Structure 1
Amino acid sequence: MIRDLYNVRVRPEEGGCTPLTEEEERRARAVLFSDLGRVIAERGWVRFPAYSPEERRRLVDVAQRLSAHWGQRVFVEAEDQCAMKLHLAGHGTRPASPPLP
């Protein structure tokens, strides 16, 4: 006997993320703008996790919005596969120490 399944939805892969709605995306970027902006204003840089391409794009957009808001460029660097650093000029990657003699 074959049974038809009604109101059944395909579940996302385990560990996969579901896309945000436009409203959720707008609110997420607004929170990042205010929270990351506050930390950058206090110490000149902030490190934030970014595990997916969407999260990295979101952080790049936040950095561009902060740059426009402050009139000063906010730089974005990928530190590794899982984190990005947003910083003002002079607070970026420190140059390597000179080799010891």
Structure 2
Amino acid sequence: MIRDLYNVHTVGPGAGPAPLTPDEEQRARATLFTELGNTIADRGWTRFPAYSPEERRRLVDVARMLSEHWGIAVSVEAEDECAMRLSLAGHAPIA
């Protein structure tokens, strides 16, 4: 059965999602700190998606927090336009 759609309008590009509140931002960073920190501690590196500049900045801040917490440098680099890689010095992903 085919239905005609009346009074349907396309939605133009919006401003995007609203930024996180300070409380939400703090919880997001704490969760990333724990989850990514555990993975890095186990493997020496991890990969995480980051689609926006805000997500990339958040991961850079989490890497800095992990470095300060452990006293060991945690590097962060963009793998491509959609993912960031956090790692301890000398650790590379196994293909």
RMSD: 1.8
Greater than 4 Å deviation, 4+ residue runs: none
The answer for unaligned runs of 5 or more in structure 2 is 1-12
For residues 18 and 63 of structure 1, the distance between their equivalents in structure 2, rounded to whole angstroms, comes to: 24
Per residue, is there more strand in 1 or in 2? 2
Aligned partners of 2:55 and 2:67: how far apart in 1? 18
- Give the TM-score taking structure 2 as reference length: 0.81
Q: How many aligned positions are there?
A: 82
Distance 2:30 2:24 in 1: 10
Tell whether the 8 Å contact from 2:67 to 2:74 is kept in structure 1 after alignment: yes
TM-score (normalizing by structure 1) = 0.76
Structure number with bigger Rg: 1
Q: CA shift at 1:92, angstroms? A: 4.0
Give unpaired runs (5+ residues) of structure 1: 1-11, 95-101
Partner of 1:79: 79
